With several copies, the nearest count.
Chain A
């Protein structure tokens, strides 16, 4: 099967000559959930602008489902890849939510009924039913974030790119958005590529992680990435608190085979571990425990 995204040796320099992307290689299977992490200013936004052909690379090194994105017609391109940028005010440029969400479908040349159906569906997906006539400027930040997502969903893209979807949101709005993204991935098979800094929320959104710092520094499951403290520190990252805590648990004698990253995972890991020990887990403190613990904490500390 064709890869959803395949980027091969992509280079890009800003007009002033600064290198923004240096030999970037990324491969994403259909239906995967990818998170891209990296320090502020690592080139994430530039990479995303390549992914939907806004910045065009002439050598066909960005392929979506096998076709070079630079060679696609606009109408086809927006059916394949939708990008939700970080700042919602930049993406809601029309005077009503309806017009904003209808903007993409109208450019695709769809019929008025089809546009109406898609706007309705997209707004329902993000939980903004009844917001059609609202003026974006008067909405809360969380609502704007959802509307900006709806304005991309209405094009029904097969690949969804999101830049910092949860930044600045209160925990409830954040949980809402994560749920919407995961539902799209699970129920509609949408491939998702997300840039985010919040390592504690990452586990829910990533099958696999790429660490980008001008070039791809590392790739692997979240577990692979976070298990390497040197990699984590060198790229200004951090590991989730629970992940670090389970590494610490080992020093107390908890021999878990896996290190969980989310609450749900940690319950599973605990249960498995206790059950494999015939129902009883002993945690102890010995003379080495604290030096081992401090070592782990120090290895991740910036």
Chain B
């Protein structure tokens, strides 16, 4: 298993990296929400191009980015294949009695393109900000502190648990274990999962002890220092403007 370390290139320098993290989160989320629901394939392609342009601006190595996009796209891909058969409409041609419809092909490509756009935006947003900064911006955006803190801890301990998991798995393979669809494997997996959960709870207990011994009483205090610059406002205006233009263009096509 490889680490899903998305902020590996957060230390680079680009317009997108310098973008105020709070403004970045709001604007990018807005862009995702407005592009994901576009119904016109042509416009959807334009938004995909636009998201690629933003990705280029961010200077994040494309190989890294495409690698990170793969799991999401592989998940969506089957629908691109199934939809031409599944959606009813004008039949383009038939294979062994199965009809491929124009609407199906259109809709399949549309869904795929929109998904790619949103994944690319989300990854560019997360990839250009260090995770702790993203979390701190959530604080300053008035997302409830307990929620942010829980998220932050989840993020911190996901790696620890993946490590623990890998260590347990390594110990098992080094004893000749091979995962198969049989009773033995199943009982082993059940025990591993149980152990992982027990260890999660025990880790939580120990983390809580160490937090309490540092004066934690359930309130979270964090230093957050962000300041919006002129360029940030310009960037917000530019991106929101683009989103509006795409929206208006789409409406004009109706």
Contact = CB atoms under 8 A, between A and B. Distances in A.
Interface in B106-165: 130-132, 135, 152-153, 155-157, 159-160, 164
A87 B211 CA distance: 13
B206 A90 contact: yes
Contact of A85 (B130, B152, B209): B209
Nearest to B217: A74
Contacts of B159: 137
Interface string B192-227: 100100110001001101111111110001110000
Interface stretch (A58-66, A75-83, A220-228): A75-83
B132 A107 contact: no
Interface stretch (A98-106, A174-182, A255-263, A269-277): A98-106
Interface residues of B, number: 46
B174 A54 contact: yes
| Most chain A CB inside 10 Å of its own CB: which residue of B172, B175, B221 | B175
Interface string A113-142: 001000000000000000001011100000
A54 B212 contact: yes
Given A107-B176, A107-B214, A137-B159, A94 B152 contact: yes
A85 B135 contact: no
Given A93-B153, A102-B223, A108 B171 contact: no
A73 to B, nearest CB: 10
A233 B184 CA distance: 43
A76 to B, nearest CB: 10
Contacts of A83: 174, 210, 213
Contacts of A74: 176, 178, 215, 217
Interface size class of A (residues with CB under 8 A): 35 or more
A236 interface: no
Residue among A133, A136, A137, A151 with most chain B CB within 10 A: A137
B138 to A, nearest CB: 12
B168 interface: yes
A19 B171 CA distance: 23
A90 B156 contact: no
A279 interface: no
Q: Which of B171, B173, B192, B222 has the most CB of A within 10 A?
A: B171
A93 B213 CA distance: 13
B176 A87 contact: no
A94 B176 CA distance: 16
B210 to A, nearest CB: 4
A57 B213 CA distance: 16
Nearest to B184: A106
Contacts of B177: 103, 107
A206 interface: no
Contact of A93 (B130, B131, B170, B195): B195
A103 B155 CA distance: 17
Given A52-B174, A108-B176, A99 B222 contact: yes
A93 B211 contact: yes
Contacts of B173: 54
Among A77, A87, A96, the one with the most B-chain Cβ atoms within 10 Å of its Cβ is: A87
The winner among B135, B164, B210 for most chain A CB atoms within 10 A is B210
Given A93-B195, A135-B132, 12 more contacts: A54-B209, A54-B213, A74-B176, A74-B215, A78-B214, A81-B213, A82-B213, A90-B164, A90-B207, A91-B168, A95-B135, A152-B213
26 contacts: A15-B2, A52-B213, A54-B209, A54-B213, A74-B176, A78-B214, A82-B213, A83-B210, A85-B206, A87-B206, A90-B170, A90-B171, A90-B206, A91-B171, A93-B156, A93-B210, A96-B132, A103-B172, A103-B175, A104-B175, A106-B221, A107-B176, A107-B214, A112-B223, A115-B223, A135-B132
* Smallest CB-CB A-B distances: 9 pairs: A107-B215, A95-B132, A107-B176, A104-B214, A104-B175, A90-B167, A90-B206, A106-B221, A78-B176
